[in-house]
Every structure is written in C-alpha cells, then in structure tokens.
Structure 1
Amino acid sequence: MEELLRQDATAQARAVRQGQVSPRELAEAAIAKIEQHDGEINAVIHQRFERALREADAAPEGTPFRGVPILLKDLGWPQRGEPYNAGSRTLDGVGIPADGYGVTRLREAGFVILGRTNTPEFGTTITTEPSAFGPTRNPYDTAYSAGGSSGGSAAAVAAGMVAIATASDGGGSIRIPASMCGLVGLKPTRGRCSFGPGGGEGWGGFSVSGFVTRTVRDTAAGLDLVSGYEPGDPYAAPALPRPLVQEVGADPGRLRIGFVAVHPRGDVPEEPELVTAVTGAAALLESLGHEVAQAHPDALADQDFRLIFGDIVSNNVAAEVESVGRWRGKPVDLAELEPRNRAMAEAGRRHSAVDQVLATQWIDGFRRRMAVWWDDFDLLLAPSLGIAPFELGWIPRDDLSTSFGRTAMAVSFTSIFNATGQPSISLPLHTTRAGLPVGVQLVAAMGREDLLVRVASQVEQAKPFEHPAMR
C-alpha cells in the first residue's frame, strides 16, 4: 500500500479499477499517512475521515477516479455542510450551503474528499502561516515554508498524504507552492474553471482554480474534469481542441521559446539558484529540439505594474471583508484581521470606484502589450518564484513594509500572468545545494494549456520528476 500511495492519482485509479485495492483501503491508507505525519507538517486543518470512508464504500463503479483520495484547499472549492475558513477566524461557524461546481465534478469523477488544507488568511500572501491555524511546514525541510497560498495542498501532496489536491492562484498561489514543494502546478487560462454557483470571478479575474500534483498527466486529468463554462459565468476560456490528457505524450513540434532568468524591472535582485534553474531548463529544452533564445516581452519591465496590481488586489480584499460580514450576519471589525489584510482592506476602502475602473483599464492595455510577444514566440521560460526558497517567518507578520516588499519580489514572475489571464505551468526541474526544490515556469498564449501539457510531458519524460520528500 505504501508503494501505491507514492504513485500518482491516475495509477491509484487504475489499481482500484483492476481490483488491486478497494476504495476504502486506499482511503484508509491515506488517512493513516495524514495521521502519521500531519502533526509535523500541519497541512490538513479540517478532517472529514469518517464521512470520507462512508463515501469510499459507496463510490460508484465506472467513474474515472473511483476511490482516489483528494484534499481541498480551504479557500474556494466550497463543499456543502463542511467548515470553511479561508485561513481566517472571521468565518468560524459559517456553513457552506452548496458544493461549488468544481467540487461537484470531483465527486462525480469518484474522488473521495478527506478534508481541507491550510492557507494564509484570504490567500493574500505567498507563505502559509495563518494566525488562525499555524504554519504549514515544507516536507523537504520543516524549517522552510511550503509556499502559499496553496501551501497546505502542496505540502500534503509532497509528503505523500494524497497524490492530488485542489489549489487556486491569484498572484502565483499554485505555481509558487508547486515550486517550493517540488510539484507540477498549472495556472489555467482565465475562465477555464467556473467559480459558480456562489461566485463569478476572483480578484477581478486574476484568480483561477487548479491543482497541485506529482505528474503532468494528473494535472491534465484534473483540469479536464473541472474545466468548462457554466451558465452565468462572466466569461469563458477559448475552447481546447481535445481533452488535455490526450496531449500528454503528444509531440509539441519545434517550439520558439524565449527565456528570462533575471527580472527586467530592476527591483528584484538576481538570485543565482534561479538563474541556474532557468538556464538549465533552457538547455534541456534546446536538447529536445526547440529553438531557445534569451528574450522576453518588453512590458515585463513596466515599473507601474506592481503598484496597480496591488491596488486591485487591495480593492478586492476590502470587498471580500465586506462580503464576509454579510455572509456571517455581523460586520467584520478590521481588528479581527491579520495586520497584512487589515492594511489591504484599509487601502481598498480609501480607493474610489473610479480608481478601480482606471486600474482595470490600465491592466487591459498592459495585457495587450504583453500578448503581442506571443506572435513571435510559443512559450516564455522564467522562474516560478522570484526569490530562493525561504524559511518560515521570512515574510514577517507585523513589519508590513518588509512583508509587502518581499511578497512583491516573490510574485514578480507570476502575478504578471494572473493579470494577463494566460496559462502557465511550474515544473520541478532544479534542486538547491541545500536540497530544496526550485520550479521553472512555462507561459503560453491565452487558451494554450494544450501546448503547455505537451511540452511539460516531453520535459517530464526527458527528466523524470523526483519526489524525495514523500515519507
């Protein structure tokens, strides 16, 4: 059973179909793994083990992932009747009235939901250290952060508790934890996955839903399940030519790939480990037959982006705090929030509706300036994280100037593509001298997850991903 837990979700599903293991046995093994290791890692904050075992017993035949255990990020991914905190005590006792469409599709696919994973308060930073639930520790080295905001999900998958967990990404929150924990993390195109029925978009379209996994095929299969327009969604991603699982192993052809290892904006210090990761990935891609050159969109160097992106996020945090008050029937006192979110909510309240519209219009222009680069290139290769792996506490709770500055550096290569809406994938292709994983990011044009899966699968075959943190 230990060997089966080390395999990916696709292999676990096949073992169930072939009768090698029952859904209950698989769920029990994953639960035992959580109980054995989560006291140290602190990835799973809400457990539903007894209900999960009953659901495993009732898992319907014929579903593609019958009996495979999964964990849900406790931000987004609402599940009816289950606790929901979004990393904040302001939501204690608030019930979820209905499953999100993504959760419904996971259930229909046969997944068994074991619980919910840790996340920073409202997902507004890149380390998972909420006051409400304590820090999630990196399975590679428990002194280090697992990243955020999908840090609990990433740590659980990296530690071998489950093979797949849900995630979301508003500024890097899939790709950064994937990088920190040695996983595959694909941020889909804006509109690929529905936020319904309870919502239409997150952070003005910056946020998207996805997964952290150990293999490209699991990422492809997960997105196939939860992708698709739902009536009432504010927009839809361009249609894919076929299911993403059919892109796994498909020849991507000879691609034109630009790469950047040092941020052209000039306010992000050069990090040798990131340079090594990107140049190593560039050499690997070139060896696979692709045309690789040092190049990037000119707009990546825009000095105004960081401030405008931050203003829009702050506006959305202010609105979220207001929504929480209405949801629970009692306004949120800003003193209830962590200092970071208190400051962001205050900033958002100072901005006017005109400020928000003008900021959104600036992003519209920025998105067009970025998009033209993909007329000449197929992919951009860049770091997944703007800094080297960092220890817990490196993003301070009370020193807001340091906290915001370090967070901005960390998301310097990821938040850009939340603003543009383009898909991007983090792959675990480098390890530091200290033994910590570092991911590199491939970015495609709008709607081209198919191309990302093809080339990611090619890379994975050429240099198989290793997962030494699994316990």
Structure 2
Amino acid sequence: MADSQTPVQRIHAFADDALGELDAVGVAEAIRGGRVSAAEVVEAAIRRAEAVDPALGAIACADFDRARRSATSPVGGFFAGVPTFIKDNVDVAGLPTQEGSAAYLAQPAPADGEFAASFRRLGPVCLGKTQLSEFGISASAESPGREVRNPWDTDYTSGASSAGSAALVAAGVVPFAHGNDGGGSIRIPAAACGLVGLKPSRGRVPQDALMSRMPVRVVADGVLTRTVRDTAAYLRETERLRPVHGLPPVGDVRGAGEGPLRVAMVIESPFTPTDAETAAAVRDAARLLESMGHHVEEIAAPVPASFEEDFKTYYGLLFLYMNATGKRTFDKSFDWHRTESLTRGFAGYSLHRLHRLPAAIARLHGSARRSRELYAGYDLVLTPTVSHLTPRIGHIDPTLPFDIAMERLLAWVGFTPLQNASGDPAVSLPFGLSSQGTPIGVQIAGPMGSEARLLEMAYAVEEARPFARIQDSVGERGLQ
C-alpha cells in the first residue's frame, strides 16, 4: 500500500462499493430495500479484508468461500446478509477455536457454541474468526508473529482481547463484529480503535458453556460497532429472540433519554494514575453532560483495596484450570510449555495464593452488593476507559518477564474490571483523538440491567460530539 520511503501507519478499507460507509443497520436496510444484495456486500467485505488485513493481522481464520455461499441465500433476521466476524474464543461450526494460542492445534468445531448460534439467528454472514491475545489474558494482542495492529496507527496496539474484531470494524472491513469482555476486552479495544463497545449485564447475551460455568461469571459477550444505533439494534434483536428473565428489558432505544441524571465521575483509579490527556477527556465529557442538564459529581473510586489482588488471583485460577485440563478442554496436542510467559506467570501467581482464593471469590461476588450501594445515590458513573493513551506494539509483549508484563498491563487497565466482577453493564465511547493520533475512550457504567439508560446517554454523546472517523483523518490511506 505504500513504498518503503513513506510507510503507511493509518489504514482503512472504506471505498465506493456496496458497503460504502454504512453501519450495520444501514447495510441491513439497503439489502432489505433491494439497493444492494447480500452477495455484493459480502464480496465487498472480503475485498476489504484482503486489502488491509496483511497490515493489521486481525483475522485468525478466514472463511470466505462459505461466506460467499451463505450470501446467496441469507437466513432471516434483522441483520440478514450483513458481513461480520466472530472472535476466535467461541465455537463456530467447521472452524477451529484457537484462542490466540500456539500451545495446541485446534480441530474444526463440530457445532456452533451458544453465542454463535444466537448471533447467526440475527442473520449476519460470518466471514471468519478474529485474532485475540492468548486465551484473552492480555489487554494487547501482540503475540510474536500475531500482532494485531491499530488501523489508526499501526505502530500501536488495537487493544485486547477483542483486538481483531475492533481493528476490522474500525478499518471499515465490516460494520460490526463479535467481542467478549472478561476484564475490559470489548471496552478497551473500543477505546483504542475509536468504537462503541458495550459490555452487557451478566446473563443478557448467550454464552458458550466454558464461560458460563466460571465460579465468578466475569465474561460477557457483545459486539463492537461504529455507531450507537448498531449496538442498540444488536441488543434489541438479541432480546427479541431470547428474552432474559430477571433483568429489565433493553427494548427499542433509538435516541437520547429525558430528565437530568445523577452522574458520579471517577478520574483516578486506586491502582494506577491516569495520564493528563485521558483525565482531560473525561473532564470534558463531564462538562458535556452538565451542558445537557445532568449533575456530575467527582468521587473517589468505589473499589476496595483488595480488588486488584482478588482479580489477579481469580484470573490465575482460570489459567491453572487450563493447565490441568488443556488436553481435554482444547485439544490433545495441548502443551502448557508452549504457552506465553504471561499465561504461565498468571497461573503461577495464583498457585502460590490458592489459600486466598475462597476469600477472593467471595469478595468478588460482593462487588454486586457494593455496586447496588453506589447506585443508590447515582444513576451512572463516568470514568476513563483505560488509564493512559494507547501503547505501542511491544509495550505489553506477553513474552516479557511476567512481573514486567503484568505491571504494564495493570498500569493501563485501571477501570474496566470492576463491572466484570459486579456484572454491571458499561460502555466505552470515542471522545476525540490524542496527541499521538489514536482515539481516546470514556466509559459510562450503570447498575445491573441499565443498558437502555446507557444507550440513551450514548446517543446523546454521539449526537453532541460526533465520533471521529478514520476515513476523514489527515494522512489516512484507503483501499487500493
């Protein structure tokens, strides 16, 4: 795409083709209206993927031929014919589930998992699976030879673990793609890539069995999008197919809500300082909310001192489990010694703290009670999505010594894990570009089941501060 004297750093695939600049709702409407066919938009997405993925490294497994066949007779559903990708840590029939790891050779899955089955019922055409950090551990997907690069600047990470999905959506390859979030892995890549990334409430979206059986169900599935209406439509249509008992319905949210809200603002995580540009973006967002009539009050982070240690200990347990059951859980070729040092280090960290695990799990479960106490006084909470600007590739290299990689990881991820423990929903929204040219995200969180209110606020922010578009940026390079 560029000669050796002028290396391209900002890359996108937007073009004057069947996809154009449409979001997922727009593509679905164009197909239903007969202005384009599913086959045309799928072919356009494949061409875009082939053009930019060599620079991004976002696709773990392409399934283009089957996508072409599917597009000739798309199934029903609101998103019928819309091209998408699914993250490579859930099962898709006929494709391997490699989990971003080189520790085994995955065989094709015999059937769709719970998430893929649910997603397919909405009608999108899956073009393949997207790359992630090994087992979704790190907040940056940069395994040696499998780095996922940020389309806004390929010297930088696209976040993790839903890194591949975020990169492809941000670059315009597809309008939306699957992600899941066990510590921020929808919201962090959304922040890094200038996208909307909503982690739903626990239980809102169907999950594969491995994730739903966790002692603390920290993982939630969802989508990464370029517009609030795509996220809203995804949750609406998923709910129509599978109503969830015990949670308030999301319903059909199509715009900003009414009435002033009480918003708590947290600038500083108790675990790591927030950099000046990120803090300024959050304060700017607070002023915007106040201009809309909302009341914003700065508070200290409502997180106990034990939270970081408890979360690390619990996560290490998951990787100890993989070590013990890898040949059965993944494939008989699984070799723990071929995992990355971050994975092994996390497991070793928890192994030496097993005596603390019951109390850690109990305190993580207690996050839901502390959340209810917080939201007795506030409607929403505004924070940074991450503590500092997006790092360059190599900064959180998972082959670094564990202590170094973990220190750098925690220095970036200071805000998102709380909602994974409590089960509450939270959304990352783009809020301008940093001095280094990468997007900055702000996070808005709410109590369990408050997705409708979060979407209403997200619509208001999007209308007041339209999100930066990569195809409008100075110095970008488009599809050739």
TM-score, normalisation: structure 2: 0.90
User: SS where residue 2 of structure 1 aligns?
Assistant: coil
Query: Deviation per CA, 1:255-281, whole angstroms, max 9, x where unpaired?
Result: 111112222x2x412301111110110
Q: Which residue of 1 aligns with 2:188?
A: 176
Are 2:295 and 1:294 aligned?
no
Aligned to 1:111: 124
Q: Do 1:140 and 1:469's aligned partners in 2 also have CA atoms closer than 8 Å?
A: no
Is the partner of 1:90 in helix, strand or coil?
Answer: coil
- Alignment-derived partner of residue 284 in structure 1: 288
**What SS does structure 2 have at the residue aligned with 1:303?**
coil
How far does residue 242 in structure 1 lie from its aligned partner after superposition? 4.6
Q: Residues 279 and 64 from structure 1, CA distance in 2 versus in 1: closer, same or farther, beyond 3 angstroms?
A: same
Change in Cα spacing, 1:66 to 1:366, as seen in structure 2 (3 Å) is closer
Shift of 1:230: 7.7
- C-alpha deviation, 1:198, in angstroms: 5.6
Question: Quick check: 151-160 or 193-202, which moved more?
Answer: 193-202
Instruction: Tell me which amino acid in the other structure corresponds to 1:262.
Output: E
Tell me the SS of whatever aligns to 1:5: coil
Counterpart in 2 of 1:127?
140
Name 2:320's counterpart in structure 1. Answer: 318
Structure 1 stretch 288-297 or stretch 181-190: which is displaced more? 288-297
- AA aligned to 2:38 is P
Unaligned residue ranges in structure 1 (runs of 5+)? none
The C-alpha deviation readout for 1:93-152, integer Å capped at 9, x for no partner, is: 323122122212222222000011110100001001123x51011001100000001111
Q: Deviation of residue 202 (structure 1)?
A: 4.7
Instruction: Confirm or deny: 8 A CA contact 1:193 1:228 kept in the other structure.
Output: no
Q: Check conservation: 1:286, 1:292, Cα contact below 8 A.
A: yes
Mapped partners of 2:182, 2:371: distance in 1: 18
1:387 paired with 2:401, answer no
Q: Which residue of 2 aligns with 1:239?
A: 247
Q: CA deviation at 1:356?
A: 2.8
5 Å-filtered alignment, 1:373-412, equals: 373-396=374-397, 397-412=399-414
Q: Deviations over 1:30-74 (max 9, x none)?
A: 0000011111111112100010000000113x5311110001111
Amino acid at match of 2:197: G
**Residue identity opposite 1:24 in structure 2:** A
Give me the whole-angstrom Cα distance separating, in 2, the residues matched to 1:123 and 1:71: 17
C-alpha spacing 1:329/1:295, structure 2 compared with 1 (3 Å): closer
State the partner residue of 2:450: 448
- 1:203 touches 1:312 (CA, 8 Å); kept in 2? no
- State whether residues 170 and 202 of structure 1, in contact with CA within 8 Å, keep that contact through their aligned partners in structure 2: no
Q: Deviations over 1:236-271 (max 9, x none)?
A: 77423352xx222142421111112222x2x41230
Unmatched 5+ stretches in structure 2: 1-15, 473-477
In structure 2, relative to structure 1, the CA distance for the partners of 1:321 and 1:252 (3 Å cut) is farther
**SS of residue paired to 1:37:** helix
> Whole-Å Cα distance in 2 between the matches of residues 121 and 8 of structure 1?
30
Asked if the contact 1:192–1:229 (Cα under 8 Å) also holds between the matched residues in 2, the reply is no
- 1:324 is displaced (CA, Å) by 2.5
C-alpha distance after superposition, 1:290-337 (max 9, x if no partner): 11121245x32x322111100000001111333321135537443111
CA–CA distance in structure 2, aligned partners of residues 230 and 216 of structure 1: 21
Match of 1:200 among 212, 222, 226: 212
Aligned with 2:468: secondary structure? coil
Instruction: Quote the RMSD (CA, aligned, Å).
Output: 2.1
Give the deviation of 1:400 after TM superposition: 1.8
Establish whether residue 6 from structure 1 lines up as the match of residue 21 from structure 2: yes
Encode CA deviations 1:402-460: one digit per residue, 9 max, x unaligned. Answer: 21011112221111111111100000012112221000000101111111011111111
Pick aligned residue for 2:64 from 38, 49, 66: 49
**Residue 9 (structure 2) aligns with:** none
Of the three residues 142, 145, 162, the one matched with 1:150 is 162
Rounded to whole Å, the distance in 2 between the matches of 1:203 and 1:138 is: 33
Indicate the residue corresponding to 1:363 in structure 2. 364
Q: Name the structure 1 match of 2:223.
A: 211
Aligned-partner Cα distance in 2 for 1:37–1:182: 18
Q: Does the CA contact (< 8 Å) of 2:183 and 2:416 recur in 1?
A: yes
Q: Partners in 2 of 1:237 and 1:408 — Cα distance?
A: 35
Q: 1:253 to 1:198 in 2, by over 3 A?
A: same
Equivalent residues, number: 457
Q: Please, which moves more after superposition, 23-32 or 387-396?
A: 387-396
User: Per-residue deviation at 1:193?
Assistant: 1.6
**Distance in 2 between the 1:206 and 1:255 partners?**
27
**Change beyond 3 A, Cα 1:202–1:277:** farther
Contact 1:23 1:59 in 2 (8 A): yes
Give, in angstroms, the shift of residue 366 of structure 1: 3.8
Kindly indicate whether the alpha-carbon contact (under 8 Å) linking 2:162 and 2:185 is maintained by their aligned counterparts in 1.
Answer: yes
Indicate how the Cα distance of structure 1 residues 273 and 8 shifts in structure 2: closer, same or farther if over 3 A, else same.
same
* Structure-2 change in CA distance of 1:250 and 1:276 (3 Å): closer
